[in-house]
Chain A
Amino acid sequence: MSSDVVSTKRMKQQSLGPYGAVGKALGELDDRIGVAKGGSSFLNKIFPDHWSFMLGEIALYSFIVLLVTGVFLSLYYIPSQAIVTYHGSYLPLDGQHVTQAYASTVDLSFAVRAGLLMRQMHHWATNIFVGAIVIHMARVFFTGAFRKPRELNWTIGSALLILAIVNGFLGYSLPDDLVSGTGIRIAYSILLSIPLVGSYLGFLVFGGNFPGTAVIPRFYILHILIVPGIIIALVSVHMFLLYRQKHTQFPGRGRTEKNVVGSPMFPVFMAKTTGYLFIIGGVTALLGAFAQINPIWQFGPYDASRIGYAVQPDWYMGFLDGALRIWPSWSFHSFGYTIPFEVFIPAIILPGLIFNLIFVWPALERRFTKDHETHNLLDRPSYRPKRTAAGVAVLAFVSVLFLASSTDVIANFFHLPLSAVIWAMRILTIVTPFVAYPLTYKICLELQTTKGGGKRKTPNMVSRTAEGEYVATPAPVYVDDQHDELAPAEVPKFITAATPESDGDGVRTIDR
């Protein structure tokens, strides 16, 4: 009896093959759709190990947090501008006439289990999402990862940044509270400012003159279906291209243009990245638990004739708000028509220029450097001083605009006249890029001449000879730091570094 059982077991195992039931199932799957070859190359795919490569992962995983918390919120939020009398769990609002959107958001925060946590996590994840995209883009830009063959993925990433900002604004508008309502009001006025078609655009988007009754439901469907749909599609293409073209890598031991050095997809990268998803979710939840964000019950429901002090949008809209604050009141009136340049330029033309510059940068650089080669090895930012300086100048410009979105708070806090603060911001906006560029350029040149940058210092062994002479013997460089191949690729003409200030390793000659 028992020998029968053993033998059937053995027979079963033999029929299953060396990899047991899993191997059998994979075999069956392979018979039908052919997964073995692609699957094993997927699991063996090598990912370079560098901390800066996780910035994009932060964006991806905060987006996943957004999707999960967003589904939760959509179950309780009511996208309607219909007026209701509030009788809910937030007593100070009892008996007031508010829109259903506002009432449902307040109830979501107070009456729904874990509702407030989900709302705050959703809002925090948005701020992290956009921030991670920006930092990830900066990494890609400064290391030259956008160069051929990856221009298309740069373009998709830039489009994702715009979509993330737009969807952030749409979602921020949905609670219909006093602050976000003012934001919608401003968005409507920006639409109005577009020459020729502005008033038509405004009326079509809002279903009539501001505020109308259509904007909340329309923003809702854009926010939860259309824009996220496009984002998911573009993220998929982004990931597919990444998979197909493989990661870039920094130069270093054994790394060439023709290979990838790092850890395999399975199990190492998969473990790290899954853990990372948990960490992002955990951090977002902790922020949602302990850092209050957007307490709409304190702002009150939207009423177009009311407003609060220090009305500011979320951080990623700050640069637009700042530009609107400091742009002078130049309006054009002639021939019976008006072009509201005071709005049109800072709110439409300026972001248009910035984003277009981002989109065309790879082509621009190809054109000026005549560099049409395929690049898989990354640049050290200091080896490309002009690109790095240009990137820093643009970031500095946008940062000052961001700072300008708090002119009133700055004036109040430092007891300065508002006009002085605004004038200071105007001057800073113009001056900063012109300071940032040469400064960065110079720092890059300095860094080029510093040998051993980024490597650990090695100790010197000091010994005293019998004669009393002290001799310092340098210890050998750490093995991991022997980046013998870190020398940069040949620099194209356009971005040639200025005359080297170094004579050989570690020796600097400074003309005085």
Chain B
Amino acid sequence: MSEVHEQRTPVVLSGLSEDDPHLQPAAKNPQLVERVIALNFLLGIVLVAGFGASYWVNAKSWILGATMGGGLLFIGVGVVAWGKYLMPKGPFVEDRHPHTSPQVDRDAFAAAIVERGGNVIKRRKMLGGLLGGGLGIFSVVAIFPLLRSLGPLPKGTLFHTDWRSGSYAVDQTGRRIQVGDLAVGSIVTVFPEGTQDTDRGQAVDQTVLIRISNQNFTTQKGRETWAPLGYVAYSKMCTHLGCPVGLYEQQLQLLVCPCHQSMFNVTNGAIPQFGPAPRPLPQLPLFIDPQGYIRAQSDYHEAVGPGFWERP
């Protein structure tokens, strides 16, 4: 028992005799372990070569991955087992050397910085100040071109979309929407004509057009004329984080945002019913022209999409 005890006591690595038990392999049966490791390496070699071959013949992705992954895995397991079972089992010990230096050295180091360095600055205060000022100004000024050139300033652009007085509402293919196109309870995503193929049109001008009845529909006071023949249009940008409000719950008359589950009631001006969105979806005033096309009375009356500081 005490002999085993002795073997498990950590020793210093250098200066051990060759037959020291600490230098013996950890495995009880090294021959067997060696054979297992060799088998691992062999399988690894076969699979890695197989990876080369399957790459050569442009095999399916999963064959490439299986051969490469299996090969690496077998080789890795073999190497780990070699280190764990066939190399000196130890345990070995090593002293930690404290990082703390003698007080003399610490003082000398601090003195060099505080006294020698401090004196240089103190003796020439004006030069130090000027140098500091110069570097300070440069570091501030240098940021300008790095930052300012990155993009335009927002100005008022966040407050406007491309909807204008008289804009035709078109679907994604560019077809103008007419009165008869939507049955009650139907929905379509529309854009002001000409923007349906543009990034900006898809991102900013996207609008959902829902037909919620056959008669002129009032969602809120002051919006009596906005929804002719039951055609209601809301910005499709969620007021939470700007995702498209893509789910329409026809039974509940709710628009739902799939990102964070804000729900907007389409019958009362898209007031948020539940979820994290703080504001109703802006409503687009519509009219139906004599030819029966659905058109916008004007742009949205407020900024669409998520909140930001300058928004009143």
Contacts and interface: CB of A to CB of B under 8 A. Distances in A.
Interface of A: 44-46, 49, 81, 97, 113-114, 116-117, 120-121, 149, 182, 185-186, 188-190, 192-200, 202-214, 244-246, 253-255, 257-264, 267-272, 274-290, 303-311, 321, 324-331, 333, 336-340, 342-343, 374, 376, 407-408, 418-419, 422, 476, 479-480
Contacts of A254: 9-10, 91, 93
A406 to B, nearest CB: 11
A192 B308 contact: yes
Contacts of A207: 150-152
A373 B243 CA distance: 52
26 contacts: A49-B90, A113-B58, A185-B241, A186-B259, A189-B242, A196-B309, A200-B153, A203-B152, A204-B151, A209-B158, A210-B203, A212-B151, A255-B10, A258-B95, A262-B92, A263-B90, A271-B83, A281-B69, A304-B199, A306-B244, A308-B258, A337-B312, A343-B241, A374-B98, A422-B275, A479-B4
B276 A272 contact: no
Interface of B: 1, 4-5, 8-10, 13-14, 55, 58, 61-66, 68-84, 87-88, 90-96, 98-99, 147-148, 150-154, 157-158, 172, 189, 191, 197, 199-200, 202-204, 206, 236, 240-244, 246-247, 258-263, 272, 274-279, 305-312
A244 B98 CA distance: 10
Given A198-B309, A209-B158, A479-B4, A340 B278 contact: yes
A249 B76 CA distance: 26
Contacts of B275: 325, 329, 422
Contacts of B189: 305
Nearest to A281: B72
A185 B203 CA distance: 9
Nearest to A423: B274
A500 to B, nearest CB: 30
B241 A186 contact: yes
Nearest to B172: A305
A336 B312 contact: yes
Contacts of A81: 199
A267 B13 CA distance: 12
A276 B199 CA distance: 47
Contacts of B260: 321, 324-325
A105 B258 CA distance: 25
Given A275-B83, A342-B276, A418 B206 contact: no
Contacts of A269: 83
Given A45-B94, A333-B312, A117 B13 contact: no
Nearest to A341: B278
Interface hub of B92, B206, B305, B307 (most chain A Cβ within 10 A): B307
Given A331-B279, A376-B96, 19 more contacts: A46-B92, A97-B197, A182-B243, A186-B242, A189-B306, A192-B306, A199-B309, A246-B96, A259-B10, A260-B94, A261-B10, A271-B83, A279-B72, A282-B69, A282-B70, A307-B259, A324-B276, A342-B276, A419-B274
Contacts of B90: 49, 262-264, 268
Contacts of B68: 117, 282, 285, 289
B308 to A, nearest CB: 4
A197 B92 CA distance: 58
